[in-house]
């Protein structure tokens, strides 16, 4: 585990993605919260397994293998698979179902052997911002991306890479676009002009079991730091048409399990999907403790149902 990280100028660098995390007291507090929650999840699942050992007619647990990498406990799929009652195994040969898990934006092909088994997120190989923008426009019928050389006004410059949180507001026309970056409309995702809200939308096989409202100040706007997170549900945040389009967008991205960052523009009232994460982290550390358990159990139920359906389909084939 430690070999996947490095220290540089007071920051922790994730070697695989290049993402940098400031090593400060806030990070230490958040890490401690995450570790505590992971320990609770492990204790709950261990107790459930022990009780099942003594129950009559118990069924064998589903075995899931993550490849080419294993998720750490701070990734949402770790508590979800634990709470769904699945055994995580390291060998694809031992697994009932596989999960393509690689914290990268793009792959030419699936970098793992599948042995003919179902692979979740197996065709979700490209989550670059340009791909997000293209599929968003196809599904929603309006554009997120702008041409920085012809756009008039402010725009947001972002790296194609995932999880780097390097958004920068630029005036346009901007005549020297940077390679490896995209340019998007600047969305005013506030209700009052002061507090910015990201509508984090987990996806499980075309379902939206829960929604997080991640509140940020103007200073934190393009970071991953939230001063408050609230648990809600899709019907409270989206119209039926919007929800259907979000699900259609996730399908276009081939996303079986992951998270979408959705913003609602204060000016035009429309929603914009600005990010896709197939290795979603969670639950957010700022979410109240009770809500963390509610969210993960809701995701676990949806995930358990999805996997069971995939295995039934595979056997029928």
- Does some domain include residue 67? no
- Does some domain include residue 259? yes
The pair of three-digit structure tokens given for residue 51, joined into one six-digit string: 């009780």
**Could you count the other beta carbons within 10 Å of the beta carbon of residue 244?**
12
Written as tens digits, the pLDDT of the chain (317 aa) is: 556 666 666 665 565 555 555 555 555 666 667 678 888 888 887 777 666 655 555 567 899 999 999 999 989 999 999 999 999 999 999 999 999 999 999 999 999 988 889 999 999 999 999 999 999 999 999 999 999 999 999 999 999 987 777 889 999 998 889 999 999 999 999 988 889 999 999 999 999 999 999 999 888 787 778 889 999 999 999 999 999 999 999 999 999 999 999 999 999 999 999 999 999 998 998 999 999 999 999 999 999 999 999 988 877 76
The pair of three-digit structure tokens given for residue 6, joined into one six-digit string: 């490095």
Say what the pLDDT of residue 278 is.
97
Convert 162-197 to b/e letters by CB count within 10 Å (16 or more is b): bbeeeeeeeebebeeeeeebbbbbbbebbeeeeebb
Smallest Cα–Cα separation from 116: which of 134, 103, 98?
98
- Does some domain include residue 59? no
- Does some domain include residue 23? no
- Does some domain include residue 134? yes
- Does some domain include residue 229? yes
- Number of independent structural domains in the chain: 1
- Does some domain include residue 278? yes
Provide the whole-model pTM: 0.88
Asked if 25 and 36 touch (Cβ cutoff 8 Å), the reply is: no
- Expressed as residue numbers, the domain containing 245 is 129-294
CATH of the domain at 164: 3.30.470.20
- Does some domain include residue 145? yes
């Amino acid at each position: 585990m430690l070999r996947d990280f490095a220290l540089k100028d007071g920051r922790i660098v994730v070697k695989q993605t290049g993402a940098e995390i400031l090593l400060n007291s806030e990070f230490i507090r958040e890490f401690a919260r995450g570790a505590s929650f992971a320990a609770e999840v492990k204790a709950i699942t261990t107790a459930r397994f022990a009780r099942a050992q003594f129950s009559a007619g118990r069924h064998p647990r589903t075995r899931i293998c993550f490849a080419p990498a294993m998720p750490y406990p701070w990734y949402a799929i770790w508590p979800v698979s634990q709470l769904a009652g699945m055994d995580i195994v390291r060998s694809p040969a031992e697994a009932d179902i596989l999960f393509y898990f690689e914290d990268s934006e793009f792959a030419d092909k699936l970098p793992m052997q599948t042995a003919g088994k179902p692979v979740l997120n197996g065709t979700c190989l490209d989550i670059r911002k340009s791909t997000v923008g293209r599929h968003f426009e196809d599904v929603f019928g309006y554009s997120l991306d702008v041409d920085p050389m012809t756009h008039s006004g402010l725009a947001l410059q972002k790296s194609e890479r995932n999880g780097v949180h390097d958004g920068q507001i630029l005036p346009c026309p901007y005549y020297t676009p940077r390679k490896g970056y995209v340019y998007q409309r600047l969305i005013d995702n506030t209700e009052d002009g002061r507090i910015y809200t990201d509508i984090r939308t987990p996806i499980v096989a075309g379902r939206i079991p829960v929604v997080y409202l991640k509140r940020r100040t103007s200073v934190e706007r393009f970071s991953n730091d939230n001063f408050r997170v609230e648990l809600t549900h899709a019907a409270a945040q989206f119209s039926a048409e919007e929800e259907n389009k979000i699900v259609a967008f996730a399908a276009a991205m081939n996303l079986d399990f992951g998270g979408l960052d959705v913003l609602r523009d204060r000016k035009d009232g429309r929603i914009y999907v600005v990010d896709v994460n197939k290795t979603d982290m969670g639950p957010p550390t700022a979410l109240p403790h009770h809500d963390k358990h509610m969210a993960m159990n809701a995701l676990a139920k949806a995930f358990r149902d999805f996997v069971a359906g995939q295995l039934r389909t595979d056997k029928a084939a």
